[in-house]
Chain A
């Protein structure tokens, strides 16, 4: 209304020639339109204005301003918690549903302040760590704002420390959450469970079916495959700057740094120290510290004062004894120092034990074996100790370092249960990056010799040399183990010859026409390939004998995970030019085979087409060269193994086509091939090719033995 008045006043100046009656009419109309415009404009920009100003208006609110919820004394309390809960009984997977990314959606309830009838708060509203945890979840890919699409719910009620809350009232607060539904799909985080005097090993707050991510579970409270055991976060992780110390022997062999130990344990430790002197160090609380020095950062032995956690870096093994609670924050400090934790806490479920292999990073000693702990540790070889030190540090970096790391690992574990077919592997969880980088997992690792009866599929790549192609087909069809012949017709401008013109052979012959003349078409995983073994062969390779090809197939059966070819080639390091060089001379070594005729597993076709790193495939198609080198790189990289060269053959020569060998000798060709090797090595980031000094020949090759008794007599020309 204000706006229209304003425009009314301005009206006359804008439209001077108007009659008053009409003027009022039109001006009103106009102002309504304008008003509408402004309103729509505001409507349109409204959400944006929230976003852009979110930093100050909505997002950054004060915790003191959160809404207060009053809990009536008689509001419902959840059931205690069902020990028999498993994912398939207590968890509602339907909420998670199908998800192309295989990621669960997590919703976080908004923060409230709960008070009882008398207005007394149920707990402190939120701790620094729980705020960090919820922030990490909210920033992650798991987070959703939409409560209806969520699969997992995280209450904003802070349960990290049971001592900081009122058990019954907190349970009532949980029960009134909008989607509580007996706690189904709710995830609660707790690090310090139980309280005096009996210190339960799981959170005492009744929680019905809710999942519990708890620190300090024992075998009796932990629901295998349902709950998640998490570390007790050590605030020192963020407070203290502790540079990494590499593995190796350290000053103290065994160290105990915990302050509140039961006298019985302390006696045992003192006995250990008495027996082993300098090598064992048992620290305790400092009694006479001057004011202002935080007690948490100092430890004492007699009158000697040590800095904590720095002192942990001086020890090879560090004792982590259970106190009233099984989960101890000291574990985190110990791991960080690269000290191997010696866990003395029977029945303790170690953090993330569902996925982490603690045997690699720690030593568990039964409580009753405490007197023998020293000799148990001494029996561990130094190499293994160093491995454990490295592993301990890696566990801290990946899963203990921050609240965020703890929260994300917990969600990942739950995610892997719900989408098991996309779960990350043991190696992903446990191998430090240095190991992951260096290790090769051969995709065809099972030692297996495929039956001869399976045979192989020959794939002939051709453009237009029909006559030569037909000769190749006729020759290859003589090989006993051939089971199918596939011709890849790479010429889009010309049709393949009519059916009647093709040679009549004993096995099925299929012609595949391609959409584009690309070298990569040779390595496409055609549906027509039914055998595992593939023989890639050029349309001008006619001099390979049937014996040679059959023998090549036999060799492939013994090495099904390798490239098996005839002429071998080598890569060399050119010291002058500081780069790789392609070598086709007759050397004593080979590192590649030409794919003008080579056997390999059809899986490598799939890899070549879909998993070739970088732009190698495009490079090959653009340069119309080096597809064989690319294949050699790919197979060697994925299997970590060398090629097998069979028979003495050194080159493919054929009478009527000098092109290939003529080209091979050509200097520019050599330069181009060298360039390929350098290019591929840079894309792979390493030189995967392996050099070997052997080739495969038939057992009796060139032996003084009657030729007619040999299995493959017709082998030998170069």
Chain B
């Protein structure tokens, strides 16, 4: 009996333990966070009668919604289609007339006027212009202009104010587009107005200071954050974010911080910029410094937001979530940081570093609207060298330009140029030429005749253009090198530029030195796009200069390519030219070899530098040779033997 009693007691105990265990397990079960299960059990129900549900629109409702007449303009509001008359721009493209200033003009005004007058858009007649530009006065003493003569409700007008206007708007902007610095988002009309950057008073007219970024990745130990303060100053914050330094409340206490009183450009990876309008000035500083702008709920429209993809260069964050923003900045992958940093520099250099660039970008945006479908694709605006230097008139397809081969991938084009190299003695490959010409994709055939024998005088008739070039392997090598660097100039003879202390100006020499910065265009490979750019984008003054002094053409071409690529040209060996005395075999009519530039030509480089606003040339210390160049191995192993001759 006793034993049974004990047994049953044990049993009861056991059972209660079981009970406890069973109670605990579900609790454990609940403690484990529920992961999303397949089919989202608690989600939106799967209705039994879902099949019976009606469509949101009655049959036919989507197709016939009651025709309506064309809409009349709503007061004050404008958009491109309704308020700009593009018919005036037919033929000549964008022609800009600038109203002469009524009273005394400020220095900035003069600069803007000069940069428009020097551009390809300018016209002197208001009648033939398709855009009439009105500079809003920026001097406190200046008279606020009365309504201009051709105003017409503001149609086809652009009211441009680089600085916040001191006098209130004297007339309704009406149908006129407004290009102003950091417009507030509330009044800005997207796709119609143009948002400009807020420029400092002393912004250079041309050229402008290059970006401050000297290296791709942030230097170790550099401050992570800089915070915009009043009067264009910056406040450096270390990696300790607990000091929350941007809202001024906890500025006095913790956190490693040093204020640089004299420093105008921040030296940090990220620059925090509050959203109030006065802080827009900081935005350009950050761009120039290569400091990634972190805009906290900006109330102003970002400059040129219509075309520039700011998500590639800046971060627009919510000012109400500072800690979250900071955590995100700290944890941002290196790859993204690198990309953002580099984009700030590209954008600064392409669109913001001078008044001229800002004005040209504005006009380019308006021209793009006129062009419609043949405007710059987004890629051209948002990757080097930028839309001002990549003319959409050259080609609608980015892969025709020398700059975008990587981004475009190696997609085969619809058409190709066949380059047939004939080297071995024997019959010319007539069958091959005919076969190639028969291809539907072939655009043209170039025969590079490198054989010892003279090229035949008769060639087969082909449907596509056939060009025969008498060449040598030396040219081959240069061409092969150019294919690797399609955006650069590849040449044989080089010049180098230098700063002449004695004369206080630039000079250049053809003497052989350890470095070079220009190649002679008389024998050089470069992309045909640069011809288009040379003809259409250079200011008239510079081209006139080049026409007058033939040596200047070389200098100008090198300036142009260097200002686009920011890189030096490439030198390749050319065996025969090693003796300086020997003239190079150039085609008749070519400019010929100019060993030492004439004094007049020396002056040309200075005029070019003035015209560009800076010295774009970059020096290189290397030459690209064939892999086995002058190596002590059998000549038979070498592909480019002719280069070996002394």
Contacts and interface: CB of A to CB of B under 8 A. Distances in A.
A509 interface: no
A594 B335 CA distance: 25
Nearest to A384: B396
A694 B625 contact: yes
Contact of A693 (B64, B86, B627): B627
A119 B202 CA distance: 72
B215 to A, nearest CB: 5
B623 A128 contact: no
A192 to B, nearest CB: 6
Contacts of B372: 363-365, 376
Interface in B19-40: 19, 22-23, 25-26, 29, 36-37, 40
A108 B1 CA distance: 64
Given A138-B40, A586-B637, 5 more contacts: A17-B4, A59-B45, A322-B68, A421-B325, A602-B217
Interface in A475-529: 527, 529
| Pairs A-B, 8 closest by C-beta atoms | A438-B409, A366-B81, A138-B43, A138-B44, A260-B64, A446-B342, A88-B297, A127-B56
B622 A323 contact: no
Chain A interface size range: 35 or more
Nearest to B624: A694
B237 to A, nearest CB: 18
Interface string A534-559: 00000000000000000100110010
A603 B334 contact: yes
Interface in B70-94: 70-71, 74, 77, 79-82, 86
A449 to B, nearest CB: 6
A324 B42 contact: no
B378 A60 contact: no
Interface in B373-391: 373-375, 377-378, 382-384
Contacts of A261: 67
Given A88-B320, A695-B624, A63 B70 contact: no
Nearest to A222: B190
B342 A44 contact: no
Interface string B573-585: 0000011000000
A384 B397 contact: yes
A325 B65 contact: yes
Contact of A58 (B45, B57, B514, B571): B45
Contact of B41 (A54, A63, A235): A54
B449 interface: no
A134 interface: yes
B15 A34 contact: yes
Nearest to A40: B22
B62 A232 contact: yes
Interface string B49-75: 110011111011111111111110010
A482 B179 CA distance: 50
Interface stretch (A158-166, A206-214, A673-681): A158-166
Nearest to B316: A420
Contacts of A63: 47-50, 53
19 contacts: A33-B19, A40-B23, A40-B26, A44-B22, A60-B47, A87-B297, A98-B323, A163-B61, A219-B191, A346-B81, A359-B373, A364-B81, A384-B374, A419-B328, A422-B328, A529-B220, A530-B220, A586-B628, A693-B626
Task: State the majority secondary structure of interface residues on B.
Answer: loop
Interface stretch (B428-436, B549-557, B560-568): B560-568
A124 B328 contact: no
A296 B622 CA distance: 70
Contacts of B40: 138-139, 143
Contacts of B328: 102, 419, 421-422
Contacts of B150: none
Interface in B307-327: 309, 311-312, 315-321, 323-325, 327
B408 interface: yes
Contacts of A698: 514, 621-623
B500 interface: no
A88 B220 contact: no
A611 B335 CA distance: 10
Contact of A145 (B42, B57, B626): B42
A325 B74 CA distance: 16
Given A128-B50, A383-B414, A387-B397, A560 B311 contact: no
A446 B71 CA distance: 47
Nearest to B57: A161
B578 A703 contact: yes
A444 B338 CA distance: 7
Interface in B251-307: 275, 297
Given A260-B66, A711-B621, A586 B631 contact: yes
B177 to A, nearest CB: 14
A384 B68 contact: no
A302 interface: no
A86 interface: yes
A449 B622 CA distance: 14
A108 B67 CA distance: 36
A26 B338 CA distance: 77
Given A199-B68, A446-B346, A701 B623 contact: yes
B56 A296 contact: no
B633 interface: yes
Nearest to A26: B8
Interface stretch (A5-13, A270-278, A640-648): A640-648
A304 interface: no
A718 B54 contact: no
Nearest to B628: A588
A210 B40 CA distance: 26
B421 interface: no
B565 A447 contact: yes
A696 B70 contact: no
Contact of B68 (A51, A324, A443): A324
B70 A380 contact: no
Interface string A599-627: 00111001000010000000000000000
Nearest to B63: A259
B86 A426 contact: no
B49 A560 contact: no
A94 B320 contact: yes
Interface string A398-433: 000000000000000000001111110110001000
A376 B372 CA distance: 9
- The listed residue with most B CB atoms (<10 A of its CB), out of A86, A138, A324, A446, is A446
A553 B511 CA distance: 25
B515 interface: yes
A357 B229 CA distance: 36
Interface stretch (B162-170, B458-466, B477-485): B477-485
A694 B626 contact: yes
Contact of A124 (B44, B54, B481): B54
A287 to B, nearest CB: 14
Nearest to B15: A33
B439 interface: no
Contacts of A199: 65-66, 68
A554 B77 contact: no
A36 interface: yes
Interface in B151-184: none
A54 B41 CA distance: 7
A33 B624 CA distance: 91
A650 B68 CA distance: 78
A627 B486 CA distance: 31
A235 B53 CA distance: 13
Contact of A700 (B5, B342, B514): B514
A455 B288 CA distance: 24
B469 interface: no
A61 B571 contact: no
Contacts of A421: 315, 317, 325, 328-329, 332, 336
Nearest to A159: B56
B406 A699 contact: no
A715 B506 CA distance: 32
Contact of A446 (B190, B216, B494, B622): B216
A650 B214 CA distance: 33
